[in-house]
Amino acid sequence: MDAALRDTLLQMPKAELHMHIEGSLEPELIFALAERNKVKLEYASVEELRTAYAFKDLQSFLDIYYAGASVLLTEQDFYDMTRAYLQRAHADNVRHTELFFDPQTHTERGVAFGTVVNGIDRALQDARKEWGLSGALIMCFLRHLSEEEAFATLEQALPYRDKFVGVGLDSSERGHPPEKFARVFARCKELGLRLVAHAGEEGPPDYIRTALDLLKVERIDHGVRCLEDAELTARLARDRVPLTVCPLSNIKLRVFDKVADHNLLKLLDAGLVVTVNSDDPAYFGGYVNDNFLQMFEALPLGREHAYQMARNSFSASFLDAAEKQKYLDEVDAFFGQ
Ligand code: HPA
Ligand SMILES: [Zn+2]
């Protein structure tokens, strides 16, 4: 890749729409928080923990990701984790970020919902004040748990309704199809929440279809397996349903064997509204700019694709129309358009 394109990717204004805040917890911070909170870890050192980050599929990653999150206990812990991510995102010229958080991972360990959301929210407010970096929260339901548990979580979340813009669905995809959560998503829609779901990462294209039809989601998280179904792909393109693609995640979780095998360019060529995101950057070997750089290094992607995906990231966001336009103008100005 030439230096000019590299600079463009690094410097262009961008939004990140698919990032699990618990997945930004770097091994060093896991160890620091374990010490601060007197939590015992199964790993002797940062190096030993990092060595365990060799995943064979989504589940093998999730087991380690939930273990890592067990060090988070106080509001300050959630603040420190979020602050570290936002600092890193700011360095990557992320102007707006929509963060997933997994309340059930914490409430089932006895951490109060408010502790989680207040710590994350305070870090988001500071980033807005200090760097003009805007952020929003999307509360995810863990799909390996029951719909009843999701309803209970929604109930706990209602006093904090002003602190998140939407809900999502994450964790183990296979065997936990979208329809399991149809009623809780319908209730969230009534509450005016924006809706997204992980679908078509490891699960079949049909999970994308049911996420659209039964959950009424506005964006699909991952969605890369849509290309196995031509009719579904045409529908996603026609309806301009954004896909929040996470290339390095897909490599680390063996959805594709190597970076050069990723279908990002095919998704773009199919006319889909593709965005690039980091998913769980501490676990998958890179933040959002690393995702852009590795994809552009391995695939025949150029400046026009960069421009398109920078624009997509803002147009697919849940910002209001005026804020969206402000950022889109910034992208156009950056690209001299
Ligand atoms: O990539 C993911 N997929 C599903 N659930 C997750 N929770 C954190 N990251 C992921
Ligand atoms: Zn994800």
Question: What is the pLDDT averaged over residues 316-324?
Answer: 98
* Residue 77 near residue 122 (C-beta atoms within 8 A): no
The confidence score (pLDDT) of residue 202 equals 95
Ligand 1 contacts CB of residue 201 (under 6 A):
yes
Q: Which residues of 220-232 are buried (b: 16+ CB within 10 A; e: fewer)?
A: bbbbbbbbebeeb
Backbone angles phi, psi at 85, to 5 degrees: -65, -45
Which of the four pLDDT bands, split at 50, 70 and 90, describes residue 45? very high
Strand order, beta sheet including 134-142: 14-20, 94-101, 134-142, 166-170, 194-199, 219-222, 243-245, 274-276
Question: What is the 304 CA–ligand 1 centroid distance (Å)?
Answer: 30
CA neighbor of 196 nearest in space, from 242, 238, 230, 231: 242
> How big is the CA angle at 174 (ends 173 and 177), to the nearest 5 degrees?
70
CA neighbor of 34 nearest in space, from 72, 76, 83: 72
- pLDDT tens digits, one per residue of 255-276: 999 999 999 999 999 999 999 9
Residue of the nearest CA to atom 6 in ligand 1? Answer: 171
Question: What is the 2 CA–ligand 2 centroid distance (Å)?
Answer: 30
Which of the four pLDDT bands, split at 50, 70 and 90, describes residue 18? very high
Question: What is the pLDDT averaged over residues 36-61?
Answer: 96
CA neighbor of 198 nearest in space, from 18, 67, 332: 18
The confidence score (pLDDT) of residue 91 equals 98
Q: Given ligand 1 and candidates 66, 201, 220, 278, which is best to mutate, with the most ligand atoms within 8 Å of its CB?
A: 201
What number is the ipTM of this complex? 0.96
The confidence score (pLDDT) of residue 180 equals 98
| Diameter over CA atoms, the chain | 54
Ligand 1 contacts CB of residue 88 (under 6 A):
no
Percent of the chain with pLDDT over 90: 100
Question: What is the 171 CA–ligand 1 centroid distance (Å)?
Answer: 5
Ligand 1 contacts CB of residue 22 (under 6 A):
no
Q: Which residues of 4-29 are buried (b: 16+ CB within 10 A; e: fewer)?
A: ebeebbeebbbbbbbbbbbbbbbbeb
d(CA 326, CA 101): 27
d(CA 331, CA 337): 8
The confidence score (pLDDT) of residue 141 equals 98
Question: What is the pLDDT averaged over residues 205-227?
Answer: 98
Tokens matching residue 47: 């190096």
CB-side exposure of 43: number of CA atoms within 13 Å?
19
The confidence score (pLDDT) of residue 234 equals 98
d(CA 161, CA 154): 9
d(CA 278, CA 245): 8
Q: What is the DSSP string of 167-225?
A: EEEES--TT--GGGGHHHHHHHHHTT-EEEEEESSSS-HHHHHHHHHTS--SEEEE-GG
Annotated binding site: 18, 20, 198, 279-280
Question: What is the pLDDT averaged over residues 172-201?
Answer: 98
Q: All domains of the chain, ordered by start, with CATH?
A: 15-25+75-331 (3.20.20.140)
Atom of ligand 1 nearest to the CA of 102: 7
Residue of the nearest CA to atom 5 in ligand 1? Answer: 171
The confidence score (pLDDT) of residue 204 equals 97
> Does the pTM of the predicted model rise above 0.90?
yes
Question: Could you list the active site residues?
Answer: 201
Task: Give long-range contacts, CB 8 A cutoff, 24+ apart: 157-160.
Answer: 157/103, 157/113, 157/117, 159/114, 160/113, 160/114, 160/117
The confidence score (pLDDT) of residue 205 equals 98
Atom of ligand 1 nearest to the CA of 170: 5
Ligand 1 contacts CB of residue 279 (under 6 A):
yes
Residue with tokens 């006093």: 159
CA neighbor of 26 nearest in space, from 101, 119, 88: 88
The per-residue pLDDT of the chain, averaged, comes to: 98
- pLDDT tens digits, one per residue of 131-184: 999 999 999 999 999 999 999 999 999 999 999 999 999 999 999 999 999 999
Ligand 1 contacts CB of residue 170 (under 6 A):
yes
Ligand 1 contacts CB of residue 198 (under 6 A):
yes
d(CA 182, CA 171): 17
* Residue 219 near residue 318 (C-beta atoms within 8 A): no
